[in-house]
Structure 1
């Protein structure tokens, strides 16, 4: 299968590292003009330089804007008013006991993980529908259905974006615009490496080994028995954004290594 997104303009939020970076690189390799987004200009510039080194001729531009509130999303739309592809990857996570999570933290997770995608989808999909083609992808997680007891505030936001993607797909029925959510399982991103840093230091093991231990112990239903790579998740997202995925909409697409124990 040859995915060709030449002439398509794509936005990937939170794309300076991790899954977002992998998606931005994958879309650029498929020929799309990709906007790399992050909060700090230096991290955006570094990501763009890294993608250009890996993908000669990549067409990239920068959006160093914090999308964690309405003002940031409005600033992005003003600077970049039109896209054919929007990948709502931006998200925050981290373990926190339910009884210790203040109201402000619930609100922060909701604003960043949910409302950033809502605002951007609302801003960009009308023009997609008028043109008769568009792709919107929300990055969810296996945690949407397998809510972690130590990250309930994270899990609920990932359930929310699955619902939003399904409902928006129905709202855009027949327009040529597809809306889907992609559900990674444990993935060895920089953020996960940071989360596992204490265990790496305590055990003296390589981070890859500690990550495997985490999957086996904390996600025992995993069939893959290891974390996914960023590229493995990005491949699913790039396909979902392709012309070949035209009959896939309203779907919750798993890249979870079989963690979710349901048919």
Structure 2
């Protein structure tokens, strides 16, 4: 299978590092004009330069803007009025006990993890509908199905992403536009590597081995018994964004290593 996204424009939010950057790289290598996004202008420019170096000849651009605010989303859509592929990847996470999580934290998580994708989808879906083709992806999480007790607020936002994605897929029925959610499990991104850095130093093990130990201890239902790579998550996203995935819509697509114990 050869995925060719030549002539398509893709926006990946929160793509200066981690899964977002890997998705942007995959889309760029498939020929899409790829727009990198981050809150900080300097980091966004650095990510664009890095991506151009890894996807030689690709058309790569950057738009800095905080998608966690209405103003930030408006600025992005003003600078980029139309896209063919929207990847709502930007998100935040972090453990905090339910009884110690104030309203402000719930609102912050909803603003970044849910409202950003809602606002950008509302802005870009009409243009996709008018062209008769488009792809919207929401980066949810296996935590949207398997709510983690240590960060209920995060899990609830990821459940909301799945529901929003399904609803929008139905709203776009028959238009040639697909909307899906992607549910990664434990993934060895830069953020996770940073979280595990102390254990790497302490044990002398590789980051991959330490991440596998973490998965076995904290996500013991994992079938692959290791963390996925950001490239493995990105590969699914690039396929779902492609013409080849035209019959896949309204789906919650798990790339969780089998963490969620279900056959459906």
TM-score (norm 2): 0.97
Cα displacement (A) at 1:99: 1.5
Counterpart of 1:238 in structure 2 is 238
Counterparts of 1:131 and 1:75, CA distance in 2:
23
Counterparts of 1:118-197 in structure 2 under 5 Å? 118-197=118-197
Counterpart of 2:57 in structure 1 is 57
Q: How big is each residue's C-alpha offset from its partner over 1:188-239, in whole Å with a ceiling of 9 and x where there is no partner?
A: 0011112223433443433222211110011111001000000000000000
Counterparts of 2:47 and 2:106, CA distance in 1:
29
Counterpart of 2:93 in structure 1 is 93
Task: Give the aligned length.
Answer: 263
**Partner SS, residue 77 of structure 1:** helix
Bigger CA drift: 200-209 or 248-257?
A: 200-209
Cα displacement (A) at 1:27: 0.3
Counterpart of 2:211 in structure 1 is 211
Gaps of 5+ in 1: none
Q: CA RMSD in A?
A: 1.0
| Residue 21 in structure 1 maps to residue 21 in structure 2 | yes
Cα displacement (A) at 1:117: 0.1
Q: How big is each residue's C-alpha offset from its partner over 1:133-185, in whole Å with a ceiling of 9 and x where there is no partner?
A: 00000000000111111111111110000000001000000000000000001
Cα displacement (A) at 1:53: 1.2
TM-score (norm 1): 0.98
Q: How big is each residue's C-alpha offset from its partner over 1:72-115, in whole Å with a ceiling of 9 and x where there is no partner?
A: 00111111111010000000011111121111011000000000
